[in-house]
Structure 1
Amino acid sequence: MKNSNKYIIQLKDDSKSSIRKTEKDLSIKFTSSAELSSDVRAQDVLGSGNGLFLKNLGLAIVEDYEVAKLHSVTTAASNPIIYWEEDRVFNPVVELDLISEMKDQMLGLSNKLGELEAFIKENKKTIVDKNFTWGLAAIGMGLNNFTGKGVDICILDTGFYAKHPDFKDRNISGKSFVFGEKWDVDAHGHGTHCTGTAAGFISTKDKKRYGVASEANIAIAKVLSDSGSGSTSAIIDAIDNSLEKGHKVLSMSLGSPVQIGEKPSPIFEQVGRKALEQNSLIIAAAGNDSNRPSLPRPVSSPANAESIMSVAALDEALKVARFSNGGINASNGGLVDISAPGVNVYSSSSKNAGNGDLYKTMSGTSMATPHVAGLAALYWEAFPNLSAEGIWLKLEKRAKQLPNQLLRDVGQGLAQII
């Protein structure tokens, strides 16, 4: 009996001989991702007897395959397959259960803002502007002349509301990797919010500045459905496409929980490594599975891969957010690399989602991640000759250390402007 699920296959190498040997052993024919057009996704070519080889990642996707046959092939001598795993479910990493907590936080909001202002004045690195979101003030946008101009940021999420008035003159492209759903509608709203933080600018409603890289080129990859779920196969298909187009920064506010002691997926470790080799930086959310202080949880997949930059969330007092995951699995990978504002973050939203508002305040490591993605674009504008690894190292080096916070929880500290 065949399994209807998809499987991701990691090959020993991406040579023609390895691909042909795998095709022969599995009785399957691979289509290269190089043959896919802007409108064709992996799902369109997958089927019985046909798989997809992602040429930029060295990975393959197969569907409706007998698990027993995969087992027999991977245990055979001279086997080119070194690892395979079943397609995994991913979701937006936004905190959905913060309503009561946020009400409590509002009571002490003035105190938290006072702490933030004192922190900023002490370090003399930014200007508190009443028209900045607290997150932009915290990362130091007040003293910055960079805009991310010319740098491509790809947001892998639920899509984007392309008719948003704040983006009418922006360079935006997109592709959907979700069957039957368009990238430029975003009936969920999560993707539009993350895009706004990474690469938006000023709200036409109240003139509030909420976006980091206001002149970056925006690419949208819809990998999560309107209901908020996606799969490994869709995500790596989108990453392969993004690398093909040469996008510099890939922002992924999505995740799948892992267990204590669980090792990172070799699939995403290879994905992150291939991206770095092609001078692209993948930045991903650490996840929202914790209930601090009593129960911190491990960094989610794919952020737990060493070659993918993991971002934790901070609240307005610059403390690790209650829900933000930590480096519990540090011995097996799964470190937090850096942290950014992730509680009560104001940004753009979609008319097609929820109450149909153009703006929304949300919380989650999802909100922290695009702050860092936007900063990466600013860094690349400032240092165009740096490699992806060089940008990563510079982001960590210039991060603000946070007193009395564990490296396990906040990584190198609060991401800062150049």
Structure 2
Amino acid sequence: MIPQDSQGAPQDRRARGMPRGNPETTGRYVVVLADNTDPAAVFADVAGLRTVASSRDYGEQALDMDEVAGADATMFAQLGMAVVSADPSQSGALRAAVQDSGTPVLAVVPELVYHVLADPAYLQGYRDGVEDLARRLGSGEGAPGDGDAPAYEDTDEATWGLQALGITADSPTGAGVRVAVLDTGLDLEHPDFAGRRVTSKSFVEGQSAQDGHGHGTHCIGTACGGVSQDGRRYGVASEAEIYAGKVLGDQGSGSDAGILAGINWAVANQCAIVSMSLGADVPEPHPPYTFAGRRALEQGTLIIAAAGNNADRPDDPGFVGAPANSPEIMAVAALDAFLDIARFSARSLPGPGGQVDLAGPGVEVFSSWPMPERHNTISGTSMATPHAAGVAAVWAGVTGRRGLELWATLDKQCRRLELPSVDVGAGLVQVGS
């Protein structure tokens, strides 16, 4: 899955925002089962699959992806679904079972492959943000009543994003709330996280949870980080408990198996929020995430995901991609410091689940980065998403609300903007009441 940070204009331009070509797959399948199903019996009886590994066999349901690599099916017990390796006759039998109301097989879809962008793309994304800022200043498109000045700017005390969210020195900090950020991991030795309660786990075969890419450290810093060495605060929920799940590898690639394993782990460990700054340019909801989002909400976990960076405004508004376009997953768009929609931020599509739900700061966002750089400033709906996740943690701590109640609170507390709801949903997510 592509972390939605600095994608820029797609190389293969879309006609009216719709993608061309087929998504890359692994050759395996994601199978969704009905509640209270014995997966071993189903897979054996329906498709002759004999080796079934389950997250229930691991402490805190933290699957070891190296150990389960040879299994016919890997079950994510908390979510009621599995990734299976099946030959054509076996996969055919599973697909046929979906049509039979007498079986507990609800959906069978190919497992998708996703990619993070290479490092040069991050520089492109930052350059896009700078160029967009220069364009706005040159054309006088500043915030209403502010002339050419942006509505917010970074200061020595706080980033512009925190200011826009209504965060002050006295704001609640999400203490005691568990937040899972599923991405490329975390720089576990980063000095800005010293003394913090961090639980880390890799769901990428052959790799540790240490972030060898950067994107995950930046997102975790935005959602739950603290202050930089010079005293600037950049993290929203600076006292939340961090669950750093590595679901994308150091080279930037991953699949549904790792991402679903990460969600399953977060739900099993009662994380109130799952933040996923990742997405694929697929306009239709991917069934595993529709079921995962619903089942997570039922267990008190809100999944928040990046709406996507496939727009190239004003010519191409793009569309919300997977997994954010699943109806039970909150989709976050990106705003710039003028509180205008970011050039790259995707627009809602008609139909259930295809809409942007709310927006967050996503252009030129300062946050943590693996050492020795320590900090970096990048842009994308990837950066807007952890802002929203951090605010969700603050509200979860203040109100005790979880799941759908927490979703409703975020929606109600948004700052309404003079922008189309297809671009920003309910508006800018807010900490202040």
TM range (shorter): 0.7 to 0.9
Partner of 1:44: 67
Deviations 1:71-103, CA, capped at 9 Å, x for gaps: 234325433322111111234588663354334
Deviation at 1:245, TM superposition (A): 1.1
Please state if 1:239 is matched with 2:263: yes
User: Shift of the alpha carbon at 1:10?
Assistant: 1.0
CA contact (8 A) 1:113 1:316 kept: no
2:414 aligns with: 399
1:355-410 residue CA offsets vs partner (Å, 9 max, x unmatched) = x41000010100000000000110011101x231111111111111111x111111
Q: Aligned ranges for residues 324-343 of structure 1 at < 5 Å? A: 324-328=345-349, 330-343=350-363
Find the counterpart in structure 2 of residue 97 from structure 1.
124
SS of residue in 1 equivalent to 2:187: coil
Counterpart in the other structure of 2:160: 134
Residue type at the aligned position of 1:41: D
Q: Report the Cα offset of residue 130 of structure 1.
A: 4.5
Using a 3 Å threshold, how does the CA distance of structure 1 residues 60 and 105 change in structure 2: closer, same or farther?
closer
1:321 and 2:342 are equivalent in the alignment? yes
Task: Give how far 1:47 is off.
Answer: 2.5
Q: Secondary structure at the match of 2:171?
A: coil
Is 1:266 paired with 2:309? no
1:191 to 189, 197, 216: 216
Residue of structure 2 aligned with 1:179, choices 187, 205, 211: 205
TM-aligned CA deviation for residue 28 of structure 1:
1.6
Once the two structures are TM-superposed, the CA of residue 59 in structure 1 deviates from its matched residue by 0.4
Q: 1:320 to 1:4 in 2, by over 3 A?
A: closer
Q: For 2:129 and 2:345, how far apart are their aligned partners in 1?
A: 15
The structure-2 alpha-carbon separation of the partners of 1:40 and 1:398, relative to structure 1 and needing over 3 Å to count, comes to closer
Deviations 1:121-174 (A, max 9, x none): xx9xx9996521111111111274201000001110000001111111100111
SS in 2 for 1:346: strand
Question: Alignment partner for residue 387 of structure 1, among 402, 409, 414?
Answer: 402
Q: Using the alignment, how far apart are the partners of 2:144 and 2:114 within structure 1?
A: 33
Q: Aligned with 2:244: secondary structure?
A: strand
Query: Residues 32 and 291 of structure 1: is their aligned pair in 2 closer, same or farther, counting only changes over 3 Å?
Result: same
Query: 1:16-54 CA deviation, whole Å, 9 max, x = no partner?
Result: 3x6513322211232321102467424522435x31221
For residues 116 and 311 of structure 1, what CA distance do their matches in structure 2 show?
23
> For each residue in 1:212-252, what CA deviation from the matched residue of structure 2 results, as whole angstroms up to 9, or x when unmatched?
00110111100011112211111001111111111111110
The one-letter amino acid paired with 1:409 is: D
1:243 and 1:90 mapped to 2: Cα distance? 22
Write the distance in 2 (CA, Å) between the matches of 1:116 and 1:350: 37
Q: CA RMSD in A?
A: 2.6
Aligned equivalent of 2:370: 350
Instruction: Note the residue ranges of structure 1 that are not aligned, 5 or more in a row.
Output: none
Secondary structure of residue in 2 paired with 1:5? strand
Q: What fraction of aligned residue pairs are identical, expressed as a percent?
A: 37
Q: Is 1:67 aligned to 2:67, yes or no?
A: no
User: In 2 relative to 1, CA 133–219 (structure 1 residues): closer, same or farther, beyond 3 Å?
Assistant: same
Q: Name which of 134, 143, 146 aligns with 2:172.
A: 146
Q: Which residue of 1 aligns with 2:426?
A: 412
Mapped to 2, the partners of 1:142 and 1:253 lie a distance apart of 25
Change (3 A) 1:97 1:163: same
Tell me how far 1:7 sits from its aligned partner. Answer: 1.4
Partner of 1:230: 254
2:330 equivalent among 294, 299, 309: 309
Aligned length: 396
Aligned to 1:8: 30
Per the alignment, residue 373 of structure 1 pairs with 389
Greater alpha carbon shift after TM alignment, 104-113 vs 341-350: 104-113
Instruction: State the distance in 2 between where 1:9 and 1:117 align.
Output: 54
Q: Distance in 1 between matches of 2:154 and 2:124?
A: 30
Please give the alpha-carbon distance, in whole angstroms, between the structure 1 residues aligned to 2:132 and 2:153.
24
Indicate whether 1:277 and 2:264 are aligned. no
- Are 2:273 and 2:393, in contact at CA under 8 Å, matched by a contact in 1? yes
TM-score of the superposition, structure 2-length normalised? 0.85
Letter in 2 for 1:45: V
SS at match of 1:179: coil
Q: Which amino acid aligns with 1:364?
A: G
Report the Cα distance in structure 2 between the residues aligned to 1:399 and 1:281, rounded to whole angstroms: 17
